Amino acid sequence: MTTLTTTAGTDTHCPYCALQCAMRITPAVAPEIPTIEGREFPTNRGGLCRKGWTSASLLGHPGRVTTPLLKGPDGVHRPIEWAQALDLIADQVQRTRRDFGPDAVGVFGGGGLTNEKAYQLGKFTRLALGTSRIDYNGRFCMSSAAAAGNRAFGLDRGLPFPLTDLDTAHTVLLLGSNVAETMPPFVQHLAGVREAGGLIVVDPRRSATANFTADGAGLHLQPVPATDLVLLLGLSHIVIQDGLVDERFIAERTTGYAALARSVSSWWPERVQAITGVPVHLLRETAHRLAEGRTRGGSYILTGRGVEQHVDGTDTATAAINLALLLGLPGSATSGYGTLTGQGNGQGGREHGQKADQLPGYRKITDPAARAHVAKVWGVDASVIPGPGLPAVELLASLGKPDGVRTFFIHGANVAVSAPNASEVLKGLRSLDFLVVCDFVMSETAREADLVLPVLQWAEEEGTMTTLEGRVLRRRAAVTPPAGARSELWIFSELAQRLDAPSTFSPDPETVFTELRAASEGGLSDYSGIDYALLDSGAEAYWPYPKGSRGTPRLFLEAFAHADGRAVLTAVSPAAVSARDALFRGDTLALITGRLLEHYQSGAQTRRVPELAGAAPHAELLIHPLAAAARGILDGAQVTIANDRGTVRCAAKFSTAIRSDTVFLPFHFPQEENANLLTSAATDPISGMPEFKSASVTVTAGALDPAISDSVPAELQEAS
Ligand SMILES: Nc1nc2c(c(=O)[nH]1)N[C@H]1C(S)=C(S)[C@@H](COP(=O)(O)OP(=O)(O)OC[C@H]3O[C@@H](n4cnc5c(=O)[nH]c(N)nc54)[C@H](O)[C@@H]3O)O[C@H]1N2
Ligand SMILES: Nc1nc2c(c(=O)[nH]1)N[C@H]1C(S)=C(S)[C@@H](COP(=O)(O)OP(=O)(O)OC[C@H]3O[C@@H](n4cnc5c(=O)[nH]c(N)nc54)[C@H](O)[C@@H]3O)O[C@H]1N2
Ligand code: SF4
Ligand SMILES: [Mo]
């Protein structure tokens, strides 16, 4: 057990989601766990969820990796010295580059990394490794919403207004988001709208959030999975037909209305009802309530992963924005549109260069002016910076392939569990020449690594994070890390030296942040006016925050970010079924996936927290009793869920909260309970987002029959 000793308590923020709830950590003498208290902050108002409360138990966890581990020919990981590990990596990178070219080295980042680490990872990849092949898990998370925001507004900041603006709303339309479980303290900001009866939740499941609308206190629209785009086209149709359009706003602040109006004209409510299963009267009530809210406290439209993680996720988010624009919500001080960013630094992590097509400050890597600006800050010639790489799904598909990536670095993602069509991803990881995973626990992905490097956890290092509102805040070191762990900034700095990188790589977070500010200056996400002293003073720092400004809590009040200052309405239509699973064939059911309150993402962290693992030890398939009865399935009994891509086995849990044609699996569990054995790697053509939220499956009673069992790859059996 690691000794956790420091002085007094420290004010910081939660390690997990983008709400970045404020907390205070008070260290304890091991084996006691540091105490966590909620702290007053606008997003959480002192509250924390169960994951936040228990987050300190991972700091001194006995399962923590505390020394570099090299996998031997026998497949067993054994400790080695840091110097040896770093030399080995540098040799391996040089050999790969020499034999196969620079793009045979690849990098996968994460939306949990601090701004400093995400920035430095992008720079390290381009300059020290010299490869274009970098992308990150935010591709699985925010890419569709980001693409839609960029297209419509010319800029992507999840919430373009402070969260507290929701407190006085009259109507909130929440599409495919289950904040009651994914951001519990957020629910405080919905108290007013719930009281006003104006919460409208769109989810094929009566989720904990949809339950808030019970007893007439709002509306729950329960569509067939993957039909949200049609639903939204139908709502826009009603808004136009019933004369609810904000005509002045459309004329003065948008372009594209005529084509949009034509494109929704054929989506009359009865047709939409036939496809989505949502009754016409609920469609009408939703459209009228949104229109009414504008003058009575405000109307907001918010999207989550349920509508975005589809092959037409960008167009679905665009349809939500179109609806908001028709009603004149964006750019108003009392109404708006937003998307709920997920990971701790999901917002900042998508701004400073760990995306395949991006340079710091949300700059495009293909833009000559952007390249010149960043090259100057880095002290290199712009020609040294590689061009765009591959989006995450393509990057993972290239692992070990001829012309693909052969030496791969992973920082802050557990792709063996969380990437779509996970058995193929595992094959890719196993066919690499060399895999380096930086983590503090032996995740399912780290188990596959040739070399595991132990890194610091949130409460052991300094840095900054950017919340779902675009607010930059300080993360503070509160406890002493285990002796063998190192910061990722130090690792980049050491490797850059060994690789003779043509720039400097400071291991000091504040120095890196100062450089990030310069690199972002003049970009869309301009941080140049923010520094650690400002953040430490408690100032509210919303980007863009150019030097000499006071930051931007509310965007678009005067103009949108396109050159002409207008928002763009883009006509969209649903993806052809050939691009995704045909959900209902014969006796198949639609599988949707998502989250439980107790677990975070791939579960690498929360499955190691005893209280959380105890509360939700295994995956359970949520199934309607009617669907179960037709298949001879009993409540609590084992079931087999299968399709062409894979097979999952877990217990069934009866619930009338789910449509009888649909089942739900959480994606927090590994091996034979991994929902991503069933998901498709088909992606959205614009964003590269995979189809996590709908797949066609069969569900049968009982354990695997031997014929199926034989086809389960050995790697999916319980790891040793
Ligand atoms: N407890 C917990 N909290 C988290 C996380 C976590 O792993 N665990 N992760 C964080 C991250 S990174 C993210 S991105 C956010 C995600 O936060 P959310 O978007 O709230 O989370 P999900 O559970 O993935 O999906 C939300 C809802 O979408 C519904 N859904 C599924 N398919 C469809 C569909 O076709 N249409 C519609 N309308 N709805 C559908 C699901 O039933 C689910 O209730 O949560 C963050 N917070
Ligand atoms: N079926 C299905 N699949 C999904 C989703 C879904 O809804 N359904 N949601 C998708 C979404 S929205 C997301 S965001 C992804 C997330 O999925 P993952 O990318 O797998 O996310 P995590 O489980 O958070 O993995 C982060 C890993 O990095 C480690 N880590 C944490 N902080 C740091 C750090 O600072 N440095 C380093 N080096 N390591 C760190 C953690 O211990 C953990 O092992 O999953 C996606 N996959
Ligand atoms: S809601 Fe998110 S930030 Fe807040 S305590 Fe829970 S996991 Fe942490
Ligand atoms: Mo996410």
Confidence of residue 704 (pLDDT cuts 50, 70, 90): low
- The pairing of strands 35-38 and 22-26 is antiparallel
Q: Which tokens go with 180? A: 């009651």
The response to whether residue 414 sits with its C-beta less than 6 Å from ligand 2 reads yes
Mean pLDDT of 385-389: 98
Three-class SS of 366-410: CCHHHHHHHHHHHCCCHHHCCCCCCCHHHHHHCCCCCCCCCEEEE
Ligand 3 pocket, CB under 6 A: 14, 16-17, 19-21, 44, 48-49, 51-52, 183-185
Confidence of residue 215 (pLDDT cuts 50, 70, 90): confident
Q: Whose CA is nearest to atom 16 of ligand 1?
A: 342
CA–CA dist 384, 382 (Å, integer): 5
CA–centroid distance, residue 205 to ligand 1 (Å) = 11
CA–CA dist 673, 670 (Å, integer): 6
Q: In testing the pocket of ligand 3, which one of 23, 51, 181 has its CB within 8 Å of the most ligand atoms?
A: 51
Which residues, at least 6 apart from 108, have a Cβ–Cβ distance to it below 8 Å? Answer: 134, 135, 136, 137, 392, 395, 396, 408, 409, 410, 411, 413, 415
Cis before 31? omega within 30: yes
pLDDT the model gives residue 119: 98
Mean pLDDT of 100-123: 98
Confidence of residue 708 (pLDDT cuts 50, 70, 90): very low
CATH number attached to the domain at 580-719: 2.40.40.20
Report which secondary-structure segment, H or E, holds 594. Answer: strand 589-594
CA–centroid distance, residue 17 to ligand 3 (Å) = 5
CA–CA dist 648, 709 (Å, integer): 11
pLDDT the model gives residue 709: 45
Report which secondary-structure segment, H or E, holds 286. Answer: helix 280-293
CA–CA dist 303, 340 (Å, integer): 6
CA–centroid distance, residue 584 to ligand 2 (Å) = 30
CA–centroid distance, residue 21 to ligand 3 (Å) = 6
Confidence of residue 4 (pLDDT cuts 50, 70, 90): very low
Q: What's the CA angle centered on 553, arms 547 and 555, to 5 degrees?
A: 95
Whole-number CA gyration radius for the chain = 24
CA–centroid distance, residue 416 to ligand 1 (Å) = 19
Cis before 685? omega within 30: no
The response to whether residue 455 sits with its C-beta less than 6 Å from ligand 2 reads yes
Q: Amino acid letter at 499? A: L
Tens of pLDDT, residue by residue over 550-584, are 999 999 999 999 999 999 999 999 988 888 898 88
Residue among 14, 60, 716, 11 at smallest CA distance from 345 = 14
Q: Whose CA is nearest to atom 37 of ligand 2?
A: 412
The response to whether residue 413 sits with its C-beta less than 6 Å from ligand 2 reads yes
Q: Where are the alpha helices (DSSP H) in 583-622?
A: 610-615
> Which ligand is closest to the CA of 201, given by its number?
1
Report the atom number in ligand 2 closest to the C-alpha of 309: 7
**CATH fold label, 159-340:** Dimethylsulfoxide Reductase; domain 2 (3.40.228)
pLDDT the model gives residue 5: 42
Tens of pLDDT, residue by residue over 425-457, are 999 999 999 999 999 999 999 999 999 999 999
C-alpha dist (Å) from residue 468 to 92, 257, 347, 553, 597? 38, 29, 6, 12, 19
Q: In testing the pocket of ligand 1, which one of 186, 595, 680, 694 has its CB within 8 Å of the most ligand atoms?
A: 595
Which residues, at least 6 apart from 107, have a Cβ–Cβ distance to it below 8 Å? Answer: 121, 124, 125, 129, 131, 133, 134, 354, 408, 409, 410, 411
Q: Whose CA is nearest to atom 13 of ligand 1?
A: 342
Confidence of residue 216 (pLDDT cuts 50, 70, 90): confident
pLDDT the model gives residue 8: 77
Q: Does domain 69-132+360-536 have CATH number 3.40.50.740?
A: yes
SS3 assignment, position 126: helix
Mean pLDDT of 294-304: 97
The response to whether residue 676 sits with its C-beta less than 6 Å from ligand 2 reads yes
Q: Amino acid letter at 428? A: G
pLDDT the model gives residue 578: 82
Q: Is 215 left (phi over 0), alpha (psi -120 to 50) or beta?
A: left
CA–centroid distance, residue 599 to ligand 4 (Å) = 13
> Which ligand is closest to the CA of 580, given by its number?
1
Report the atom number in ligand 2 closest to the C-alpha of 675: 1
Q: At how many degrees (to 10) do helices 257-264 and 228-241 cross?
A: 110
Decide if 69-132+360-536 and 580-719 have a common fold: no
Q: Which tokens go with 304? A: 């989550």
CA–centroid distance, residue 512 to ligand 1 (Å) = 33
Report the atom number in ligand 1 closest to the C-alpha of 343: 12
Q: Whose CA is nearest to atom 18 of ligand 2?
A: 413
Residue scoring higher pLDDT (705 or 442): 442
Q: Whose CA is nearest to atom 1 of ligand 3?
A: 183
Q: Which tokens go with 471? A: 């607010």
Strand partners, 220: 201
Q: Where are the domains of the chain?
A: 10-60, 69-132+360-536, 159-340, 580-719
Looking at the predicted structure, is the pLDDT value of residue 705 above 90? no
Please identify every residue whose CB atom is under 5 Å from ligand 4, which is an ion.
141, 342
Answer yes or no: are the C-beta atoms of 254 and 569 closer than 8 Å.
yes
Mean pLDDT of 208-229: 95
The count of residues in the chain is 720
Q: Whose CA is nearest to atom 18 of ligand 1?
A: 177
Mean pLDDT of 230-253: 98
Looking at the predicted structure, is the pLDDT value of residue 386 above 60? yes
**CATH fold label, 10-60:** N-terminal domain of TfIIb (2.20.25)
Q: Whose CA is nearest to atom 34 of ligand 2?
A: 412
CA–centroid distance, residue 541 to ligand 1 (Å) = 27
Three-class SS of 682-696: EECCCCCCEECCCEE
pLDDT the model gives residue 720: 32
Sign of torsion over alpha carbons 454, 459, 463, 464: positive
SS3 assignment, position 519: helix
Report the atom number in ligand 3 closest to the C-alpha of 13: 3
Looking at the predicted structure, is the pLDDT value of residue 86 above 50? yes
Which residues, at least 6 apart from 31, have a Cβ–Cβ distance to it below 8 Å? Answer: 1, 60
Looking at the predicted structure, is the pLDDT value of residue 294 above 50? yes
One-character DSSP codes across 180-234:
HHHSGGGGGGGHHHHHTT-EEEE-SB--TTGGGG-TTSEEEE-PPTT-HHHHHHH
CA–centroid distance, residue 223 to ligand 1 (Å) = 16
Mean pLDDT of 698-704: 86
Looking at the predicted structure, is the pLDDT value of residue 181 above 80? yes
Q: In testing the pocket of ligand 3, which one of 12, 48, 595, 611 has its CB within 8 Å of the most ligand atoms?
A: 48
Report the atom number in ligand 3 closest to the C-alpha of 14: 8
H helices, E strands: number in the chain: 23, 29
Looking at the predicted structure, is the pLDDT value of residue 300 above 80? yes
> Which ligand is closest to the CA of 311, given by its number?
1
CA–CA dist 2, 413 (Å, integer): 24
Q: Whose CA is nearest to atom 35 of ligand 2?
A: 113
pLDDT the model gives residue 2: 38
Report which secondary-structure segment, H or E, holds 99. Answer: helix 82-100
CA–centroid distance, residue 183 to ligand 4 (Å) = 12
Residue among 73, 84, 42, 77 at smallest CA distance from 63 = 77
Looking at residue 553, the DSSP 8-state letter turns out to be: S
Longest Cα–Cα distance in the chain: 71
pLDDT the model gives residue 717: 44
Ligand 1 pocket, CB under 6 A: 17, 141, 175-179, 181-183, 202-205, 207, 225-226, 228, 304-307, 342-343, 592, 594-595, 597, 599-601, 664, 693-694
Mean pLDDT of 382-392: 98
CA–CA dist 675, 666 (Å, integer): 7
SS3 assignment, position 280: helix
CA–CA dist 556, 220 (Å, integer): 30
Report the atom number in ligand 1 closest to the C-alpha of 51: 1
pLDDT the model gives residue 712: 45
Tens of pLDDT, residue by residue over 605-655, are 999 999 999 999 999 999 999 999 999 999 999 999 999 999 999 999 999
Q: Whose CA is nearest to atom 6 of ligand 3?
A: 49
CA–CA dist 132, 610 (Å, integer): 40
CA–CA dist 573, 570 (Å, integer): 10
pLDDT the model gives residue 711: 46
Report the atom number in ligand 3 closest to the C-alpha of 182: 1
